[in-house]
């Protein structure tokens, strides 16, 4: 029985999608609910699965093509699929591995003159994915051309010069400098393109300012060190990190300064009676900001579990649109990458974003003496159309005071 495979029904805020990766090829057997294709939209990657046991009979939309909501993208034959030859079950040669890879992977390998056997596949059955090749190319030391066999000289024979290996996107420098300098041109993903547009829009439309402060992390580090083992045991392996303290401190500060928790809707200022905190997560596809709902009612353990779950979903491309929309305030942590100080950009329509940074031992004056303390710079970017400078500074000072005396977070004072 032939079945039409259609693109998912996109929400009103999503106009169309792009075929990212076909995980099954025509004739390849698959079981019900096996992943067939990933479709990338402006906000999330949506998965289409097999409707029954069987196999794909035809792919109608190639990787990289744009599809509309409910558009037919393939045809599926229910019933036993065509079994792959045994030789393909354990590919041992470059050709075998290419046979179970999508056209986008084969094109990428060819353009960069790569040997497929040197790239580790993370797909089902060791299948090469486009992300595997891109990750391989990120390390310049591993990007090598397919080796060219060196001919063995035969006595009496006239030496024949070996044909040069094909070079793609390569420019030859003058003889006095490097002989091979290459460049790669990779199309911007839909998610990356959307991020770029939103960031530029935020800078062009908002009256964005940033205020800075610093916090002594000694009290939280001491508290965490004292109770982390008990915390982990009491909460089924959930680890006590720093992020939960910042989320709780932000929730308390947002109650005191409602304008920081508000959003702009045209000429209307919308004040929210709840705190939904967006937490920035970096993924291979770009930065996403899933939302923790009602953080004012969550415990530290609830927050830690929520962050771990959202981060895992983000890295696996499993976030839904509902999990990424509706935040009232954003926290981003550049410190995990080593950033000492930065200016975070607003996440519209929100009016403020808190930037965390690297914890670094620094000399500070304390009671007339110079001491070494683990310090972190904090940055609050805000929309001056909605928030006055006084409120922004006081909000950031409140977070600092709560973090330097963690008991106040629990007592809400």
Distance CA 69, CA 6 (A): 8
Q: Are the C-beta atoms of 357 and 376 separated by less than 8 Å?
A: yes
Respond yes or no: is residue 384 known to be catalytic: yes
Spot the catalytic one: 33, 89, 388, 405: 388
Phi-psi region of 8 (alpha: psi -120 to 50; beta: other; left: phi over 0): beta
Answer whether the bond into residue 349 is a cis peptide, omega within 30°.
Answer: yes
Q: Are the C-beta atoms of 41 and 67 separated by less than 8 Å?
A: no
Q: Which residues pair with 77 in a beta bridge?
A: 2, 55
Distance CA 240, CA 228 (A): 6
Q: Are the C-beta atoms of 378 and 352 separated by less than 8 Å?
A: no
- Pairing outcome for strands 329-333 and 277-279: parallel
Q: How many CB atoms lie within 10 A of CB 71?
A: 16
Distance CA 281, CA 384 (A): 26
Spot the catalytic one: 89, 115, 180, 384: 384
How far apart, in Å, are the Cα atoms of 236 and each of 227, 248, 299, 346, 401? 14, 21, 14, 35, 30
DSSP 38: E
Torsion angle of C-alpha atoms 167, 170, 174, 178, degrees rounded to 10: -90
Distance CA 355, CA 343 (A): 7
Q: Are the C-beta atoms of 412 and 252 separated by less than 8 Å?
A: yes
DSSP 260: G
DSSP 169: S
The HSE-up count of residue 156 (CA atoms within 13 Å, CB side) is: 0
Q: Are the C-beta atoms of 304 and 244 separated by less than 8 Å?
A: yes
Q: Which residues pair with 265 in a beta bridge?
A: 268
Active site residues: 384, 388
């Amino acid at each position: 029985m032939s079945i039409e495979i259609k693109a998912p029904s996109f929400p009103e805020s999503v106009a169309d999608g792009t075929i990212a990766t076909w995980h099954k090829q025509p004739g390849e057997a698959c079981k019900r609910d096996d992943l067939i294709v990933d479709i990338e939209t402006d906000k999330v990657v949506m998965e289409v699965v097999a409707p029954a046991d069987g196999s794909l009979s035809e792919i109608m939309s190639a990787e990289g093509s744009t599809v509309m909501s409910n558009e037919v993208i393939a045809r599926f034959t229910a019933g036993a699929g065509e079994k792959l030859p045994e030789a393909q079950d354990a590919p041992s040669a470059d050709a075998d591995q290419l046979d179970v890879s999508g056209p986008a992977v084969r094109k990428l390998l060819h353009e960069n003159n790569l040997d497929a056997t040197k790239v580790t596949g993370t797909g089902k059955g060791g299948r090469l994915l486009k992300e595997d090749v891109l990750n391989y190319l990120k390390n310049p030391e591993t990007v090598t051309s397919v080796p060219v066999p060196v001919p063995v000289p035969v006595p009496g024979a006239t030496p024949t010069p070996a044909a040069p290996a094909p070079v793609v996107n390569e420019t030859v420098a003058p003889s006095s400098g490097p002989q091979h300098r290459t460049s790669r041109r990779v199309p911007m993903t839909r998610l990356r393109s959307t991020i770029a547009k939103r960031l530029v829009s935020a800078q062009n439309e908002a009256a964005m300012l940033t205020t800075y402060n610093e916090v002594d992390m000694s009290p939280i580090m001491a508290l965490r060190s004292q109770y982390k083992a008990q915390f982990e045991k009491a909460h089924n392996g959930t680890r006590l990190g720093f992020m939960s303290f910042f989320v709780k401190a932000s929730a308390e500060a947002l109650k005191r300064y409602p304008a920081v928790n508000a959003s702009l809707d045209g000429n209307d200022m919308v004040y929210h009676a709840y705190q939904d905190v967006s937490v920035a997560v970096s993924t291979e596809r770009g930065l996403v900001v899933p939302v923790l709902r009602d953080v004012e009612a969550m415990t530290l353990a609830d927050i830690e579990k929520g962050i771990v779950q959202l981060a895992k979903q983000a890295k696996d491309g499993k976030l839904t649109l509902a999990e990424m929309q509706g935040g009232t305030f954003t926290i981003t942590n550049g410190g995990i990458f080593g950033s000492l100080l930065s200016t975070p950009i607003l996440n519209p329509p929100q009016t403020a974003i808190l930037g965390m940074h690297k914890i670094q031992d620094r000399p500070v004056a304390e009671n007339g003496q110079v001491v070494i303390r683990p310090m972190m710079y904090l940055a609050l970017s805000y929309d001056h159309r909605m928030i006055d400078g006084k409120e922004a500074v006081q909000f950031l000072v409140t977070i600092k005071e709560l973090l330097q005396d963690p008991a106040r977070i629990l007592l809400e004072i």
